[in-house]
Amino acid sequence: MPIFALTIIAIFIMLSGIEIASAITVNNIDPSKLHVSDAQKSVAPYGANIGRIILYSIVIVIVIITRLRWTKYGRRVTRPKIIAESIFFLVLSSIVAFDSFYDVGIPILYLIPYLTLFLGLAYYSYLHSNQLMSFWKEKSGSIYVKGGTHIHLAYVIGTTSRIIISVLFIGSLFTPSRGGLIHIDNSTAVLATIVFDFLLMISVGLLIGINRRILIRYNLISQGRENISEK
């Protein structure tokens, strides 16, 4: 988990650096001294966004591989790891929500359905995820867990779709740029952002709920109040 988190953070730092450098370069150019064709002007935004596309693609691949690998083969869990992962994804989703309100222009009243959806799905996942997971111990005493494929798949879909919609239509996610590769009017951008933010809130809520259940089961196992098989 620390390696995964550091990788994501490093990617977004690189991404922000590229976008900021690009913005500074463009702002320092005097348009009156440039002699470019209309075709060159239309191609420029695509060239400026290529770094963002590559780095977002890396994020998507990392998210998909790690989530699906965990559900199939399991992973070693500890209390600090579970808490750190939950905090990381909460912060990440909060940044995305802030971007929606601050840059895209979502009305602040939508914060109420956002939170309601997140808290409701987190509680639902907490109640019903128990039967989706299996725990075991290794001879070293380390506790492992696997399962929850549907929840992890929902998180992958929610996260990747929000990133893709930002790159294609919205822009501004983690960058100072406005507008995506495909131009749409502001009202359509707001509607698309709301829809995919709802999907993100659902996926993050499900993930936080299952993590809460994992933490409770882990504590019970560590305290000897729940017996599990040893491999």
pLDDT tens-digit map of 9-65: 454 444 445 444 444 444 444 445 545 444 444 444 444 456 666 666 777 777 777
Q: Which residues contact 225 (CB under 8 A, 6 or more apart)?
A: none
* CA pair distance 202, 12, nearest whole angstrom: 23
Report the pLDDT value the prediction gives residue 50, as an integer from 0 to 100.
61
CA 191 to CA 137: how far, in whole Å? Answer: 47
Provide the number of structural domains found in the chain: 1
| Residue 134, φ and ψ in degrees, nearest 5 | -130, 140
The length of the chain in residues reads 231
Task: Express each pLDDT in 179-215 by its tens digit.
Answer: 666 777 888 888 888 999 999 999 999 999 999 999 9
CB-based contacts of 50, cutoff 8 Å, min separation 6: none
Domain that holds residue 123: 2-230
pLDDT at 153: 84
Indicate whether 117 pLDDT > 50. Answer: yes
- pLDDT, position 216: 94
What three-state secondary structure class fits 196? Answer: helix
pLDDT of 173 = 57
Q: How confident is the model at residue 1 (pLDDT cuts 50, 70, 90)?
A: very low
pLDDT tens, position by position, 58-96? 777 777 777 777 777 888 889 999 999 899 889 888 888
pLDDT tens for 14-27 read 444 544 444 444 44
Distance, in Å, from the CA atom of 20 to the CA atom of 174, rounded to the nearest integer, reads 11
133-142: which pairs have CB atoms within 8 A and are 24 or more residues apart? 133/210, 133/213, 133/214, 133/217, 135/217, 135/218, 135/221, 135/228, 136/74, 136/228, 136/229, 136/230, 136/231, 137/221, 137/228, 137/229, 137/230, 137/231, 138/230, 138/231, 139/230, 142/76
Segment 112-135 mean pLDDT: 92
> Residue 201: how many CB atoms within 10 A of its CB?
25
- How many other CB atoms are there within 10 angstroms of residue 202's CB atom? 21
Average pLDDT estimate for 120-125:
95
Mean per-residue pLDDT for 89-114?
A: 86
Cα 117 to chain centroid, rounded = 17
Q: What is the pLDDT of residues 129-156, one digit of tens each?
A: 888 888 998 888 899 998 888 888 888 8
